[in-house]
Structure 1
């Protein structure tokens, strides 16, 4: 599932390509992927201009010039592609937004969606229960210490809890814990202040490095996209079961913590 770095990467790359462009056509291939009737969606979106693309947690928000906001959550298996009809992947398309001969394809939205809201306030209500953004100022180590001090669950289950922090999922929770050299099964209330500060620094480093590297999902956003997916080869533990740890050489372990698959080094994570 796309996490914060993947969606931030999408936001940055799409902002370079579709801002101030008019949506010339709308095609809905799966009505369950939207939240209003197709005719209403098309009426409010077609011939409108995208003024801004923003991100909140694992969501993207497309801001149109009529104040309409399209709220995207790709969920498990969802991705996007921007290009011509000839360049598009040979996959079922759930939604297509056209910009002349270029199109933005939404693919794999079996669980994901592109919901329409009449204004930003209406869209924001859908995101009210999300925690703070972990890499956006003014979020600080002091705030993190305060939040962490109120938690009793494991690092794994807490870091992926979107009410605690917004945007971290299975991949980056494991990468953060490995970078901090702390076992993901440790309880937050068992950490020393030094360990909690180290976890915050690791979170900042991993998420920003993943954004700069294009995230871990390898499907390119557009033809010639050499950035998207670049972090996959940099993952230290995620999806690396049985491979040697880059720090100590021990085998990476795959386990489950509260039914969530988890990767870690049992030797150098304490």
Structure 2
């Protein structure tokens, strides 16, 4: 599932390519990906413009010229691809296609994901339960320690809980705890202040590096794009079961906890 770095990479690229470009066509191949009727969705977009692209956690918010919003959540398996009209169509099936000038933005894999047409107020309501952003300028080490330190239970469960902090999922929870040398299933109440401080430093480090590195998406955003997905090769533990740890050469272990995969180094990340 795309997480904060992947969605931030998309936000930056979309901001450079579709903002203020007239929408000339809208195709909906899967009505269930919408929250309104197809004709209402098409009428709201046709002839309009996206004037701003915002990210909140794992969501993208497209601000429309008329004050409306498109709220996107790719969920599991969702992708975006921007291709030239009739020339660069992705090989996978698409659920929604929006044409901006001579380019088409393809929404792929929206079997669980969605693109909802909402008012500004309804968008705020839909996202009101999300926790704070850990890369927000208002976040700091002290606030982070208060936020995380008061929780109970396994560390990974807290990091991926979107009501606690927004944007982290399975991949970066494992990468962050590896960088911090903390077992992902350690009980938060057993962490020392020093470990919480290190956890904050590792969170900022990993999320920034992953964002700058294009995240771990499986396909480029457009033809010639060599950044999107490049961070997949930089992951240290996620989806690396059996591979040697980059620090100590111990094979990376995959476990399961609360129906989630967990990847870690059993030597570098001792279980409390």
The interval holding the TM-score normalised by the smaller chain is: over 0.9
Q: 1: distance between equivalents of 2:23 and 2:124? A: 23
SS at match of 2:61: strand
Q: State the match for 2:135 in structure 1.
A: 135
Aligned counterpart, 1:95: 96
Give SS of 1:146's match: helix
- SS of 2:80 mapped into structure 1: strand
2:188 and 2:137 map into 1 onto residues whose CA distance is 23
Q: CA deviation at 1:235?
A: 0.3
Correspondence 1:149 to 2:149: yes
**Partners of 1:228 and 1:183 in 2: how far apart?**
29
Whether the 8 Å contact between 1:156 and 1:257 is mirrored in structure 2 is: no
Partner-residue secondary structure (3-state), 1:226: coil
For residues 37-48 of structure 1, what are the structure 2 equivalents within 5 Å? 37-48=37-48
Name the count of aligned residue pairs: 269
Maintained 8 Å contact 2:149/2:196? no
Any residues of structure 2 matched to 1:54-69 within 5 Å, and which?
Answer: 54-69=54-69
Aligned position for 1:175: 175
The equivalent residue for 2:13 is 13
Deviation at 1:218, TM superposition (A): 2.6
Contact 1:148 1:189 in 2 (8 A): no
Residue 135 of structure 1, CA deviation:
0.6
Partner of 1:121: 121
CA distance in 2, matches of 1:165, 1:9: 19
Q: Spell out the pairing of 1:22-61 with structure 2 (5 A cutoff).
A: 22-61=22-61
Secondary structure of 1:139's aligned partner: coil
State how far apart, in whole Å, the 2-side matches of 1:218 and 1:46 are.
Answer: 30
Paired position in structure 1 for 2:208: 208
Q: Tell me the equivalent position of 2:113.
A: 112
Contiguous gaps of at least 5 residues in structure 2: none
Q: Please, what TM-score do these two structures have when normalized by structure 1? A: 0.98
Measured against aligned partners, the alpha-carbon deviations of 1:42-74 in whole angstroms (never above 9, x if no partner) come to: 111111111000000000000011001000000
Partners of 1:43 and 1:184 in 2: CA distance: 47
Task: Tell me the CA shift for residue 22 of structure 1.
Answer: 0.9
Secondary structure in structure 2 of the residue aligned to 1:231: helix
* Length-normalised TM-score, structure 2: 0.97
Following the alignment from structure 1 to structure 2, what is the Cα–Cα distance between the partners of residues 220 and 88? 13
RMSD between superposed Cα atoms in Å: 0.8
**Between 51-60 and 120-129, the greater mean CA deviation after superposition:** 120-129
